[in-house]
Structure 1
């Protein structure tokens, strides 16, 4: 949703009053410099000296809209291919280099209209990154061979299975778009393409696509961060100048979607347990003047207690727990979508009637001046939050230059939002929504077509058939043979590092309030914001097994009003400050977190105090959130990833251990919980004695502490004893468990065993050991073998997940169904050999990444907040990162091998598979760990 992203990321100076902003918006100034090379490459430079890092982004003006019918998914396929290899970087390409230089992990994304490649690196690696980005455009395409293409097709197809085919409501957007846009419209198909089109792509197709679109005159390079602009310009010219200009590229014509007659479609979803209604209307493209009013309209209609849709559907009719409506403006066209997931067995015709009622109410009442200001105030804080990283600033400059030809629009577009009037909001409603034709989809559980909108026709989706050995064979180790592309300079040598940036650990201040609350803070003045959280230890650990879900319900209800404020009044008070406050629960704590403008910090803390000390305990809201949680639990029953997590936790911790339980509880336990249970939990366990507060932002210690005086006097401390639940030891032998999800297109796997607590002296050394195994992304053996070597998965990782208690070591992935056994066999081989295969080269890569990445460790406010949480939770030194640097520097191959032998043993693991038992269960006998244990009988519904 490019438009939304842009709007939330485009200012550098904040002016509090909307009227003042209208007058002064033109004075906003994000400094940048733009120049163009002779070959057409446009370059934008933005300096930010706050941290010794640079974000590098290459944005190419090609997305799925540049594809043709029958060859969809090419733009996204290229996003993958360009990370693999180039003539001068060699195998592993930018991914491999990223690990060595301490980068954030080279990443990319594809939309309808563009593909971008981006990462943040320590500034001593800037020349290396410019060299590498140039290699993508000028010295890449020869490295794409038949085996490389065959493998990457499988990776992309796995991504589609994971994000679309094997998840609830995954086909919804595909059905909407192919009906909202004509067949010859470039938004008719999905960015990821179809499995059939991807499979049919030939090597010549790929080369032709690259040579047409991946040319300097269709790209923007943005450097954002701490660097010398003179040197940067020299390097850009040195590495990019000789890349030849491509054919002239004609801009695509703006073309809205067309719906000549409203159309309703239904789909029986194999993974859905709750019915969902989506309605879509064609609207306007990016930067159209009406798009800004549509942004505000959709937020007003659906967000918050006062929203017309929520008043009717949530409060009055009680058909759902929430509604969602958004404006999606892309380069060529736009669409507004409304999505509502009903409670169990709710008829979507009733939801549709409720939508119409809400719209009529809005037509009669409109939007007030106060609500308009409130929504704009909420956008203001989002502006600054997005500017807390150099990659965020760089991405927006790249987008404005790509779509508008002018990065300077970053200083102008905000005024178009701030100048929206009440009349504009009503006008766009009447123009694009009221009485206009639409596309509606009804996604319903299998066998429940009676819940779909009346007169709906069935949407036909061609689903993949599970066939063992269906994919083509390839050998990715075959080296590409080609004549190297000539160059005026020697590109075979990677450029040297610049001056090594020094690690700067933020200064931490500390205080303890009289009632026992410990406060930790860091002053951060890059943007006029404050982020904070109040962490109250306990969470689900304080629940009883017959009342699972009490902590979560308590946290949710604390969000719903206070003694003196209704839900709507509380929301309005928060939003007027341009703030956000949220109470949430986890396994080990309840947290009140928030973000606010620094100047409104005192008023925001006053609201936090009210939420914390004066809950409303509203019975109507209590029943609503119970229904919402039960709905979520019901949907989780059919989500393979959630099923895997729930079962794996029970296998690791044991059924009678609270750590094995879903933090939401179970359907039966939530149904039994009363409002009095929540009040007792609050009275007994919400105490200053187990609370830490963390504050990062544009205020000093005194300014941060002064508003907390009331918390000291009004919040009385009580003793809270948090139970200790012993984690079982690793099993003595391996056991295979299988949970059947019929016709699953992927198998979700979790392999592991109880291992370490984060407080254990071996914990951080073990995470260092795991970097090359599965913790290092594309630097890890698991990724290189299963994704890059075989194309079995879109992603795989391994990790230690201890807290103050012992947690498991886990290997997790979603693999193509028909290679479930082969994936497990390969993982077994890798972890069996890891203690002896780990090399000096692997150690060098590990050390290089973990040390060099420290330059960007504390760049964002979120990172600084996380640092404070680590210090308070685990009683670490303020400069604990330096202690960890010492561990890394002193690590040896022998120590790595010793840790691997101690904590990663395939013969003492739980091997859990969630997938299609009909085709995969019996095959797992070949894994050598005995006959698999089937955990469910799909002929009888089994509840977790």
Structure 2
């Protein structure tokens, strides 16, 4: 009888599964509903007959919709010899399809005022856009068209342009960046050559050079079917209407080949494996990586908590043994693969040490692990980490894009298993101290690891190390059974797909309702209620920042003071304070910019009172100990030296110096110079705090699940803050006059990329005058993805991964700047094209079509402006700090609608002085110098002091 019942149950279950697979109508797989007081992402999960998985998350907080399409294919599905396909295809998916013209995808979304992008990791590729809700159907039409109608639009020219763009991206973001090769080297020693995580997601250049357009088409036909994809629609939507649209646009797309779950053997290292790599860096770095388990393995949560216990916060052993002891500048530990971890897991330690080389970092790491094995993990550490994880999950839910990301991740990592926020939190809450120690001893203590040692080239230390030979290909191309017999089948429809959907009436943005209160000491409090999550965020802006003293010798003092504010207080050591704050899952951080010092506070509402007690301690009772100062000063100075190896940082600093002048505080970096930081003392920090941390020059913005009547009494402690009667200096511009356009060349020996900055000192900020109009004028030239500059240098020429132009301004004039990194061999050509585009734009002006595009894009973006607490706070802070009317956005929109082609084109003539600009180039002088001279500009050799 039992056997009969079991067989009957199996038959029923198989019948249900077949019904889900073979159903002629969409099947509801799961439904999660919101309950009052519960942290939840409500959703419906459907499966279309062609296998497409659909999630719908309904949230009417803001009039926006987010669409995210995830294909369960990443670099792990590539074959040896052909790495980089998944990422390459991410680029090709933006190049048009049968019914969407070349570059039109970006243009349509930007016309809507929306945002969009795509990303690739080992395990998946995703494409997403956030748009005003009236563009929901348009966004689904766009995504469906490239899922079902892409291949006929793929041409050899597009293929070659994007191949060049991807290679530029690798040069700009990997090869030419300090420590950029770290992950690639680590993968090639941690994983065997036949493991799908062996090669980098962006691919090896030799593999990229090898492949052809037909290979790319085969990759699409094999992996980009609807049965290997999910669509998440989140936001101000109606689920029934969403399903109708999804069925209409995606339902007829034919199923692709069946996709089996990938299975690989766990990584087992036969011994410790070492790789040494000489890089253009100042500070040595050691990364130690242990092979562990994939995401959602039973031990995954315990390993994540272990990483935080060991390497996060001022109570961790990594902080105590490396940072506080001044053995290293940075030290961290974490569990997880940065680029997808469906098939394997990693536990990482990273230590950035000082250049003296006096400490045996590997030996100290072993001693640290032995110490942890003996001391174990205590209850408070577990409370700290779990509270921080809970707050982190909440912060990930602040936007519809964040919630959609949770759902799409569950699709490719969990398949049809149910996922909920509650279960996600529970898998961490269930972890015990015993679990943490068990996984430590099972996967870390005494186990073999991959060691990547990156050291400064051309040093004494370098001569004693044998460098690893970089891998150039993922292997020899073999017979690829997966790609045999593939055919491209287009959908057959009963409607005209070439007709772009009609766009409904634009929704009115939900502008935050702002309350305002000035305290007796002059501090101005602004706030707005945001009920979506039980979280409260506070943002202080203290006027002054780096320019407060108007003294170049003291540059960096504001930033150094902010760092010291994060250290010990009168009643707490650094470790004690961090322990109390972390147990609440709260954060308090200080930072400084040119014009302001900032304080940011975030906490769960239930912990607000306790967090404010700690804020009072931190704000009013800093200790400024000599021990803390010595450590922070050393870390800051070494960090500044390290930045000298970053081409982009060098270009930015040189550009500021040339525009504002060598003797201007406005030209000085906020973090300071090596000389200025070394000259400062703890007395300087105390002086800056005493003089400039004052309520009458401070504004506070509160955003969160709290009313005005609730928050104001809780802020009464701020009334104790004593006024300092601050007199800020009147910083005046004394910028050098640019008599003619010249090139300033900074040599970066053997660099394969060049960083370019072009511009001049333009305008101060205003919200309704020439500065505002200048930003509108610049939009078609350099202010969006489809700008003339980006279409030329990236999409047509393949010189760069991206270029942008923009105006920035404060109370004083800020620069007009064009910024990009380009292939070294194209440096002179890129400069020539930049000036060619500016010349054409200044003489002929924008077209009426470009003006219409700019107006629609800038105006429609209002719907997306106020979604998250951070966006709301930024909007209110702008009003507070710039003393703007609360309806300034409405005023700008009215002005925008009235702007004419004649007025903006006249501005282009006035504000693009081609003969009086600065050109900064950081590149290999030996390779680019002579060709730059042929452009006709004077070429000056330049060094950043």
Q: TM-score, normalised by structure 1?
A: 0.92
Q: 3-state SS of the aligned residue for 2:80?
A: coil
Deviation by residue 1:263-314 (Cα, 9 ceiling, x = unmatched) = 1221110x21111111010000110011101111111111122111211112
Q: Against the structure 1 CA distance between its residues 294 and 871, is the aligned structure 2 distance closer, same or farther, given a 3 Å change threshold?
A: same
Aligned to 1:381: 391
- Show structure 1 runs of 5+ residues with no match: 1-9, 16-26, 465-481, 937-942
Work out whether 1:507 is the aligned partner of 2:497.
no
Q: CA deviation at 1:463?
A: 8.6
Between the aligned partners of 1:720 and 1:367, the Cα distance in structure 2 is 50
**Given that residues 519 and 694 in structure 1 are in contact (C-alpha distance below 8 angstroms), is that contact kept between their aligned partners in structure 2?**
yes
**Given that residues 312 and 357 in structure 1 are in contact (C-alpha distance below 8 angstroms), is that contact kept between their aligned partners in structure 2?**
no
Deviation by residue 1:531-584 (Cα, 9 ceiling, x = unmatched) = 111111111102422232211111101100211110011111211221111011
Deviation by residue 1:167-202 (Cα, 9 ceiling, x = unmatched) = 111111111111111100000010000111112110
Q: Which moved more, 1:142-151 or 1:439-448?
A: 439-448
**Given that residues 695 and 721 in structure 2 are in contact (C-alpha distance below 8 angstroms), is that contact kept between their aligned partners in structure 1?**
no
Work out whether 1:94 is the aligned partner of 2:105.
yes
Deviation by residue 1:461-485 (Cα, 9 ceiling, x = unmatched) = 2699xxxxxxxxxxxxxxxxx9997
Between the aligned partners of 1:449 and 1:175, the Cα distance in structure 2 is 23
Q: 3-state SS of the aligned residue for 1:906?
A: coil
Between the aligned partners of 1:157 and 1:587, the Cα distance in structure 2 is 35
Q: Against the structure 1 CA distance between its residues 730 and 752, is the aligned structure 2 distance closer, same or farther, given a 3 Å change threshold?
A: farther
The counterpart of 2:81, out of the listed 65, 70, 78, is: 70
Q: Against the structure 1 CA distance between its residues 483 and 292, is the aligned structure 2 distance closer, same or farther, given a 3 Å change threshold?
A: closer
Work out whether 1:321 is the aligned partner of 2:332.
no
**Given that residues 63 and 111 in structure 1 are in contact (C-alpha distance below 8 angstroms), is that contact kept between their aligned partners in structure 2?**
yes
Aligned to 2:876: 868
Between the aligned partners of 1:591 and 1:245, the Cα distance in structure 2 is 53
**Given that residues 14 and 380 in structure 1 are in contact (C-alpha distance below 8 angstroms), is that contact kept between their aligned partners in structure 2?**
no
Q: CA deviation at 1:371?
A: 1.2
Aligned to 1:940: none
Aligned to 1:767: 775
**Given that residues 252 and 491 in structure 2 are in contact (C-alpha distance below 8 angstroms), is that contact kept between their aligned partners in structure 1?**
no
Aligned to 1:626: 633
The CA RMSD over aligned residues, in Å, is 2.0
Aligned to 2:50: 39
Aligned to 1:826: 833
Q: 3-state SS of the aligned residue for 1:498?
A: coil
Alignment of 1:443-522 (within 5 A): 443-448=454-459, 450=461, 457-461=466-470, 487-522=493-528
Deviation by residue 1:669-716 (Cα, 9 ceiling, x = unmatched) = 211211111111111221112111111111111222212222212433
Q: CA deviation at 1:759?
A: 2.9
Between the aligned partners of 1:154 and 1:897, the Cα distance in structure 2 is 34
Q: CA deviation at 1:730?
A: 6.0
Q: Against the structure 1 CA distance between its residues 879 and 254, is the aligned structure 2 distance closer, same or farther, given a 3 Å change threshold?
A: farther
Work out whether 1:702 is the aligned partner of 2:709.
yes
Q: CA deviation at 1:923?
A: 0.7
Aligned to 1:369: 379
Between the aligned partners of 2:625 and 2:909, the Cα distance in structure 1 is 54
Between the aligned partners of 1:895 and 1:531, the Cα distance in structure 2 is 42
Q: CA deviation at 1:448?
A: 3.2
Aligned to 1:790: 797
Q: Against the structure 1 CA distance between its residues 730 and 793, is the aligned structure 2 distance closer, same or farther, given a 3 Å change threshold?
A: farther
Q: 3-state SS of the aligned residue for 1:530?
A: strand
Alignment of 1:456-855 (within 5 A): 457-461=466-470, 487-543=493-549, 544-726=551-733, 728=735, 731-759=738-766, 761-776=769-784, 778-835=785-842, 836-855=844-863
Deviation by residue 1:87-124 (Cα, 9 ceiling, x = unmatched) = 101111311211122211x2010010000000111010
**Given that residues 11 and 383 in structure 1 are in contact (C-alpha distance below 8 angstroms), is that contact kept between their aligned partners in structure 2?**
no
**Given that residues 265 and 440 in structure 1 are in contact (C-alpha distance below 8 angstroms), is that contact kept between their aligned partners in structure 2?**
yes
Between the aligned partners of 1:935 and 1:677, the Cα distance in structure 2 is 32
Aligned to 1:112: 122
Q: TM-score, normalised by structure 2?
A: 0.92
Q: CA deviation at 1:228?
A: 1.8
Between the aligned partners of 1:121 and 1:509, the Cα distance in structure 2 is 28
Between the aligned partners of 2:642 and 2:472, the Cα distance in structure 1 is 21
Deviation by residue 1:822-874 (Cα, 9 ceiling, x = unmatched) = 11111101111113241010011111111111111101111100011110111
Between the aligned partners of 2:191 and 2:915, the Cα distance in structure 1 is 54
Between the aligned partners of 1:29 and 1:854, the Cα distance in structure 2 is 27
Work out whether 1:434 is the aligned partner of 2:441.
no
The counterpart of 2:885, out of the listed 852, 877, 880, is: 877
Q: Against the structure 1 CA distance between its residues 116 and 449, is the aligned structure 2 distance closer, same or farther, given a 3 Å change threshold?
A: farther
Deviation by residue 1:186-233 (Cα, 9 ceiling, x = unmatched) = 000100001111121101101110100011111001100111222211
Q: CA deviation at 1:638?
A: 1.0
Q: How many pairs are equivalent?
A: 893
Q: CA deviation at 1:83?
A: 0.9
Aligned to 1:468: none
Between the aligned partners of 2:640 and 2:133, the Cα distance in structure 1 is 46
**Given that residues 831 and 905 in structure 1 are in contact (C-alpha distance below 8 angstroms), is that contact kept between their aligned partners in structure 2?**
no
Q: Against the structure 1 CA distance between its residues 804 and 14, is the aligned structure 2 distance closer, same or farther, given a 3 Å change threshold?
A: farther
**Given that residues 11 and 384 in structure 1 are in contact (C-alpha distance below 8 angstroms), is that contact kept between their aligned partners in structure 2?**
no
Q: 3-state SS of the aligned residue for 2:728?
A: coil
Work out whether 1:253 is the aligned partner of 2:266.
no
Q: 3-state SS of the aligned residue for 1:156?
A: helix
Aligned to 2:292: 283
Q: CA deviation at 1:593?
A: 0.7
Aligned to 2:928: 920
Between the aligned partners of 1:28 and 1:610, the Cα distance in structure 2 is 31
Work out whether 1:133 is the aligned partner of 2:143.
yes
Aligned to 2:96: 85
**Given that residues 727 and 807 in structure 1 are in contact (C-alpha distance below 8 angstroms), is that contact kept between their aligned partners in structure 2?**
no
Q: CA deviation at 1:405?
A: 1.4
- Show structure 2 runs of 5+ residues with no match: 1-31, 474-487
Between the aligned partners of 2:914 and 2:270, the Cα distance in structure 1 is 60
**Given that residues 800 and 808 in structure 1 are in contact (C-alpha distance below 8 angstroms), is that contact kept between their aligned partners in structure 2?**
yes
**Given that residues 577 and 600 in structure 1 are in contact (C-alpha distance below 8 angstroms), is that contact kept between their aligned partners in structure 2?**
yes
Deviation by residue 1:366-417 (Cα, 9 ceiling, x = unmatched) = 1111110111111111111111110111111111022211373134232111
Alignment of 1:255-270 (within 5 A): 255-269=265-279
Aligned to 1:300: 309
Aligned to 2:867: 859
**Given that residues 274 and 345 in structure 1 are in contact (C-alpha distance below 8 angstroms), is that contact kept between their aligned partners in structure 2?**
no
Alignment of 1:51-70 (within 5 A): 51-70=62-81
Between the aligned partners of 1:46 and 1:503, the Cα distance in structure 2 is 20
Q: Which moved more, 1:726-735 or 1:781-790?
A: 726-735
Between the aligned partners of 1:826 and 1:742, the Cα distance in structure 2 is 24
Deviation by residue 1:624-661 (Cα, 9 ceiling, x = unmatched) = 11111111111111110111111111001001000101
**Given that residues 253 and 491 in structure 2 are in contact (C-alpha distance below 8 angstroms), is that contact kept between their aligned partners in structure 1?**
no
The counterpart of 2:429, out of the listed 418, 440, 451, is: 418
Work out whether 1:50 is the aligned partner of 2:61.
yes
Aligned to 2:22: none
Deviation by residue 1:745-776 (Cα, 9 ceiling, x = unmatched) = 11000000001111372111111111111111
**Given that residues 309 and 359 in structure 1 are in contact (C-alpha distance below 8 angstroms), is that contact kept between their aligned partners in structure 2?**
no
Between the aligned partners of 1:410 and 1:323, the Cα distance in structure 2 is 33
Between the aligned partners of 1:407 and 1:893, the Cα distance in structure 2 is 56
Aligned to 1:5: none
Between the aligned partners of 2:670 and 2:305, the Cα distance in structure 1 is 34
**Given that residues 760 and 916 in structure 2 are in contact (C-alpha distance below 8 angstroms), is that contact kept between their aligned partners in structure 1?**
yes
Q: Against the structure 1 CA distance between its residues 199 and 754, is the aligned structure 2 distance closer, same or farther, given a 3 Å change threshold?
A: same
Aligned to 1:935: 942
Work out whether 1:191 is the aligned partner of 2:197.
no
Aligned to 2:134: 124
